[in-house]
Amino acid sequence: MQRALTLGLAAHSALALLAACDSQSASVDVLTVWSSEEQDSFRAVVAPFERQTQIKVQVVSTRDQDTLLTTLLRANTPPGVAILPNPGGMQQLAAQGKLLPLDSFLDMEMVKRDYSRTWIDLGSYKGALYALFYKAANKGIIWYNPRQLQALGLSVPHTWDELIAVSNAIAAQGRYPWAIGVESAASSGWPAADWIAELYLKEWGPEMYQRWVNHTIAWTDPTIKQTFRRFGSIVTGKHYIPNAPTSILLTNFQDASYAPFEQPPRAYFYYSGDFVLGFVTSRFPTIVPGEEINFFPFPEINPRYAGAVTGGADAVVALQDTAEVRALVQYLASAQAQEIWVRRGGFTSVNKSISLSAYPNPVARASAQMLSQAPFFCFGAGDLMPPVVQHAFWKGMLAFIQEPDQLDTILKSIEAVAQRSYPA
């Protein structure tokens, strides 16, 4: 193959290996959890790579990634690349020897220039880099329509008490303040787990948060009970969510995000990550970011932890050692490749070489800036736990939404799973 890779592929060594490949049949399977707008954007990212290398990128999307990936690994037919939604899964696969060390072929000087030590450490296991954190999410924000809130004569809340007061004021006018949907196929429950993580960090701080994640406190700890009850004040709030709890359990998380931006609005607030901007602008192409869709930081609970933010990031890992896989990972690591999705919207990059000016609107820029300047940042709690505990967490959230008075039983059930899953 005599093609030159542009867009900063940094793939000279991979090209040498690719010269021996049949360019007509070269391909890489990529396993993701992305669908709809996210999958469309990822296909736009890899399109230049496919044109320039003649390597076909086969995208396989599933909401039950853990099960499918386990099945493929047992059959010894892993995908070339997987994009994992949590570092806990990466650590487990690296410990099992299933992943290719990325520092064996990436330009680590470029990686160290473009990625902070925090992200490199999160992607490492026993000193080797196994994951490249690719698509970040700021989960410390609440979405709303500024025009609709102003029409009610209400202001953005800055504290938890103010948030409850504003929610009650909206409900008093016969309107519903909140949209929540937790349906996500085999991953149902994760949107509610994100609520718990953000609330816990805001009230108890990063040190206690880490103790929770590491299971050095039990799930039955009073701090965790208090956080669940705080979330319960939203899901059981009087006139807060129509047809709750059934509607919460049956509504897909993406569908729920549209409610504040419909005409007339079916709700006024929606909590989720900054990827919601991509969902909403795709659904309502004429919506004006900053005027008809915006966010405010998740309100303060404990002043000591003002500005604390939870978030997530999808991590690129390699499960096959082929020239095609190496070339694709090198491409995805580049700022130029990531900027394609940044400009499309619904994507926050942790690559420091991407300028804030690349973000397509002031809302996307503000979220990226907030994420980079947060005084406390913690990865989503469930994503740091062993996968079996994360799934128990998700199921526990579904049970709590349906029967909040069974909180003690629910937390004891999650605790039993955690005791079996963490090392002694």
**Do both 231 and 126 map to the same domain?**
no
Domain contains 44: yes
Domain contains 13: no
Domain contains 3: no
* pLDDT tens digit sequence for 30-51: 999 888 888 999 999 999 999 9
Domain contains 129: yes
Phi and psi torsions of 245, nearest 5°: -90, -10
**Do both 109 and 38 map to the same domain?**
yes
Is the Cα dihedral 328, 334, 339, 341 positive or negative? positive
Query: What pLDDT score does 36 carry?
Result: 84
Confidence of residue 400 (pLDDT cuts 50, 70, 90): very high
**Do both 100 and 148 map to the same domain?**
no
CA–CA gap between residue 360 and residue 135 (Å, rounded): 16
Q: Which domain holds residue 96?
A: 28-138+310-379
Is the pLDDT at 189 greater than 90? The verdict is yes
The predicted model gives 147-153 an average pLDDT of 97
Note the maximum CA span of the chain. 70
Is the pLDDT at 14 greater than 70? The verdict is no
Domain contains 6: no
**Do both 350 and 372 map to the same domain?**
yes
**Do both 412 and 281 map to the same domain?**
yes
Is the pLDDT at 10 greater than 70? The verdict is no
Query: What pLDDT score does 171 carry?
Result: 98
Strand partners, 318: 81
Domain contains 17: no
**Do both 37 and 131 map to the same domain?**
yes
Please provide the DSSP assignment of 313-352 as one string: EEEEEE-S--HHHHHHHHHHHSHHHHHHHHHHSS-B---T
CATH number at residue 359: 3.40.190.10
The predicted model gives 126-134 an average pLDDT of 94
The predicted model gives 164-189 an average pLDDT of 97
Angle between helices 323-333 and 36-53 (to 10 degrees): 120
**Do both 201 and 111 map to the same domain?**
no
**Do both 47 and 102 map to the same domain?**
yes
**Do both 284 and 336 map to the same domain?**
no
Domain contains 19: no
Total domains present in the chain: 2
CA distances from 329 to 59, 64, 86, 120, 333 (A): 14, 23, 18, 15, 6
Phi and psi torsions of 328, nearest 5°: -65, -45
Domain contains 9: no
The predicted model gives 112-127 an average pLDDT of 89
pTM: 0.78
**Do both 97 and 245 map to the same domain?**
no
What integer best gives the mean pLDDT of the chain?
Answer: 91
The predicted model gives 58-70 an average pLDDT of 90
Yes or no: say if 306 and 366 are a contact pair by the CB < 8 Å rule. no
Which ranges constitute the DSSP H helices of 22-159? 36-53, 65-74, 87-95, 108-114, 117-122, 146-151
Is the pLDDT at 23 greater than 60? The verdict is no
**Do both 116 and 190 map to the same domain?**
no
* pLDDT tens digit sequence for 232-280: 999 999 999 999 999 999 999 999 999 999 999 999 999 999 989 989 9
Nearby residues of 5 by Cβ (< 8 Å), 6 or more positions away: 11, 15, 52, 53, 327, 331
**Do both 261 and 191 map to the same domain?**
yes
